[in-house]
Each structure stands twice: as C-alpha cells, then as structure tokens.
Amino acid sequence: MHGKGVPLLRRGEGRKGVGANAAPAARSARGASLQQRALSPKPWLAFAVLAALVDVWGNRYNLNPDGISYVEMAQHALVDGPGELINGLWSPGYPSLLMWPLRLAGSAWDVAIPALHAVNLLLYLMALGIFLQLLRAVVRPDRPMLAPALAQHVEAFGAAAFASIALVSIGLGLLTPDVAVMLAVVATAACCVQLERTAHAWSWAVALGVVLGGGYWVKGILLPLNALLLVLLLVVPPRVDRARKKIGVAALLFVVMSLPLVGLVSAKVGRPTVGDVGRLNYAWAIDHVTPFVGWLGDSTGRFGTPVHPPRVLQQQPLTLEFATPVRATYPLWYDPSYWYAGLKARIDIGGQWRALRQGLADLARVVFGQVVLAASVIALWLATAPQPGSRPDRRMPSVLAAWSLAAAMVLALVHVESRYLAGFIATGVIAIWAWLSTRRPRRALRWVLPAAVVALALSLVRDLDRNTGGFDPGYRPDYLLDAAQLRGAGLHSGDHVGTVGDAFEQYAAFVAGTPITAQVMDSVQYWQLSPGGRLELQRHLAATGVKALLANNVAAGMQVEGWRVIVHADSSNLGVLMLRAP
C-alpha cells in the first residue's frame, strides 16, 4: 500500500527474522558509517547566505535596462496609484515589491539602489528555505537503507546546489523578477509534492492554485507554463484520493487569480490579451521586426501598420522623438506595447527553425554554466546502484521533471537565458534527488557527496570572485558621478535629453531625473556628418525641447564643438552637449 512505509521482504525471509537478518544489519552498519561522515548543515547554510550577501554587496549599485522600467513603475505607483503597475510587457508583481524600499529611501539613489537589491536577497532566502524543505520531503524517511547519505547530507548539498543555481544562473545584481520567478517555481513544486504526501491534500490543492495564479502576476511567461503543469497533473495525477478533483480546484483558483490581471492588461493595451511578452518576443526573435526601440513599420505592411510609432525628426541619420505620451527615463523601453501597437506577428517556419537551433545551443550553454552541478549529479548516480524491487511510489517528482524539460523547450522556441531557467533547474534537481533516494548507496557515496558539496562551493566562490566588484564601502558607480556632472552642467530634474546611439544604459539620465525623449539611432552616422550637419540636427532636437545630448565615448577633439567629456576610471567617457533653445 502506498505511503505505509512497509519494506519489501526478500524471498525466504519471515517477518520475525527481518530485523535479525545479517544483510539488513550490514546495511544498517553502512548507514551508520555514512551518518558519522555527514557534513554538518549549519556551515553550508551559512555559506549559502554569505554567498548571497557577498553577491548583493558587490553588485549593490548594479542597474540594468529592465530594472529601470520596473523601478519607474514602482515610482509611478507610489505617486499615482497601483494602476501604474499595469503594463503590456512588464508584470506587476516585482515592481509592487520595489515600492517598499522606494517609499523608505525616496530618490536618494545612493541609498535606494542598494535597498532595491535587498528585495532580491529576501526572495533568495525564501526560495532557499523552500528548496531545502523539498529535498527533505522527497527522500523517503521510511526507507533508511536505500540512501542514508542523501538524508544526512540534504542540507549541505541543497544549500550548495541552490546557491550555485541562483547566483550563477541569475545573480542578485539584476533588478529583474527572475529570483521571484525562481521562488514561484520552487513554491509550485513544494505544493505538488505536499499534495501527494500529506493528509491535508485539499489545502495543498488550494495553495497550488494560488501559487500558480500568483506566478502569472510575477512574470507573464508563467501563465502558459503553469497551465502546462496543470495539464500534466491531470494526465498524471498525484497518488491521492480524488486526485483529479483536487487538481480541478487548483485549476479553478489559478483561473480566478489570473483573470483580474488579464482584464487589467487588456484594458491598458486596448485589446483582449494576457500580455504582450510572447507576441513581442516572437516578433523580435523570429520575425526580425526591429527590436526594443519602437516600430516604424515597413513598406510591405506584412506585420501590420504602426499605431503609435516614434516620430521621425530626420532620416539620415535616423533620429526619433518620443517625448509623449509615455512618462519614463526611456519611454521606448518602458512601454513597448504602446510603441508596437498594430504589430501582427507572423508564423515563419524558417525563422522558427533558426530560433529553435539557437535556443537549443543556448540551452547547452546553460547546462555548461552549471557543469559542476551536472557533474555532481552524474557522480551521485555512479555512487548508487539500483535497488531490487524498489519502485517510485510518488509521481510528483517525475511530473516536475517533465514540467522542467517542457519549460526549457518552450523557451527554446523563442529565446533562452540562464536566468529564465533557474527555477526549473532547481525543480530538476528535486526530481533527481527523489530518484536517487530509491537507489542503494555504494561505498563511494560517503566521499562523493561531500566532494560534490565542496566542488559546488568552490565553483561558486570562483564565479563570485570573477563577476562581483564594488566591495569598497566608499565605492560609487560612474553613473552616480555622471549624474552629478549633468546637474553641474546646468541640467535639472525634468529636463529632456537626447542620446547619440544606444540609450539603454544611460543610467545617469535616470539618476538625474532627465528623461530621454529623442535618439539618434546610429552613432556612427552622426559622427560622420559634417560639423554643419551635426549643428542642423542639434537645432531639430532643440526645437522639440531637448536640452542636451548624451553620447558614450566621445572623441576628445569634439570639445571644440562644445562637448563636455566626463572621463571614467576605465578610460571610457560620457559626453554631454548642451543645446541652445531655438
């Protein structure tokens, strides 16, 4: 019977003789030996927390383009209400969390930006706790002969594995919802496992539906992926009474949780939609529509007609203006749904095939990025052996493994980054750990497991040393210093600026409160203009209200045309040109 924990008897063994049988006694001795060599969990839990603290501290001033959009959504919501959290591309869950440090720190960015990163740290710690509980849950305590070392090393291995997955695949220096997505995925896995192993299955069915619906509020891609999990659960239901009815309850709550956001996003965008993340990413990655910076359409009209294109000030070099109606440091990236309104993505078999090949290559790179974890899993498999007569009596680990693989393939159809897959890597580890717990330990397991934990830790330390900086308490990033220089040049909060070339990483404009409302799309063409041509373009920009131009890596000789060059420690620079009002 499932869940009773009655070990299978070998042929010829009577019930009275099981406890005294020599073979079980030998296996018990082996289990005791492995238990004596168990790694203490406390140092490894402390390591997982310390590694996160190091990552957060060293990257406390990191900014990224997506993060600017999320932060500004939170800013607008604090001023104008929660309706500002609704966006066609960006989900509301993460910026709603960012509102709290912003409420406390305001726009004192040298304090507020590190405080924003603390949100990622809290999400990481919550996900770590759930992950460790899951590892304990999937190891069968009623079968101590199968894998005693797994049960004894669960915290040590789990802490090292989780820290490696989260900090290498995502990192806490990105102001994006990826750690929150990882938390949502791990919490979903916990609900599935608990649904099958406890007597309170109805309450876990309710929890599963709420977590699945909440995931959609965190990131739009979780809507189809969570729906896929529900389908898998209906096809392969957990081994509990009235399993499909319980999954039906979870599905109902998932729909109830999701429908309000569908309605809000549809009202914001102006048409029925669950969000534009899939449509836009498909158009950018497969249809090769000009990505990220607004859509001007094309002569064929194959992908529709732009409804809200940026305004063209000049064709050569292409210069766009987008001061209204979107309020943001970089409006084109704050609300892509608005600037790409009218776009109709088209299925392109050839483009889809190319995207899939690229996606599979990217998946291989993700696996290579976790090569130590992959090698550890293989070593653990080699250090265990099949247990005769032992069969998994729980379906959820297999369902979670199938869900993780399916999620990876769905992402591979369009675009893959390691940070998107971190939660699914974690659930894959849960499934593998459950499978290993049904196997018999070989003698080598007593040193393979500690070796795997140490290897994961050393690999993470190397990665943190390579990719983390800014440990000096007095460190200030270039963009904070540049923002002070912008104010010194005469710019005030609310003044409009333009950029020559890429505008995504003009973080000084964000800190200074000077929105980018115009952009010369090709910096090379701009610098190739004659001095008179540049002056004429500058007049066009000034006529739209642009007070200054920003450009990266301006030649020193351009100072004769009025460019002020702010040199950085790495020899790069930011150029600032104040424009004369017409």
Tens of pLDDT, residues 532-555 = 999 999 999 999 999 999 999 999
In the chain, what is the straight-line distance between the N-terminal and C-terminal CA atoms, in Å? Answer: 85
Q: What percent of the chain has pLDDT over 70?
A: 91
Residue 422 binned pLDDT confidence (cut-offs 50, 70, 90): very high
Question: CA 27, 33, 38 angle in degrees (round to 5)?
Answer: 125
Beta bridge partners of 311: 321
Is the confidence at residue 25, as pLDDT, over 50? no
Instruction: Please report the pLDDT score of residue 143 as a whole number.
Output: 53
Does residue 145 carry a pLDDT above 80?
Answer: no
Q: Measured between alpha carbons, how far is residue 38 from residues 17, 141, 501, 537, 548 in Å?
A: 30, 16, 57, 70, 63
Lowest-pLDDT range of 44-58, 196-210, 402-416, 491-505: 196-210
The lowest-confidence range among 74-88, 114-128, 191-205, 283-297 is 191-205
Q: What is the pLDDT of residue 391?
A: 65
Can you give the pLDDT at residue 447?
86
Residue 460 has pLDDT above 50, yes or no: yes
Measure the CA–CA gap between 27 and 487, rounded to whole angstroms. Answer: 73
- Identify the pLDDT of residue 516: 98
Which tokens hold the place of 508?
């000084």
Lowest mean pLDDT among 128-132, 257-261, 391-395: 391-395
Least confident of 139-148, 213-222, 337-346: 139-148
Q: pTM surpassing 0.85?
A: yes
Cα–Cα dist 429/226, whole Å: 19
Backbone angles phi, psi at 477, to 5 degrees: -70, 160
How confident is the prediction for the chain on average, in pLDDT? 89
DSSP, collapsed to helix, strand or coil, labels residue 553 as coil
How remote is the C-alpha of 91 from its chain's centroid?
Answer: 12
Collapsing DSSP to helix, strand or coil, 562 comes out as coil
Q: Please check the confidence at residue 10 and state whether its pLDDT lies above 60.
A: no
Residue 31 in this model has a pLDDT that exceeds 70:
no
Q: Which of 310, 315, 284, 316 is nearest to 516 (CA)?
A: 310
Mean pLDDT of 335-359: 93
| pLDDT for the residue numbered 59 | 94
Gap between the Cα atoms of 43 and 149, Å rounded:
18
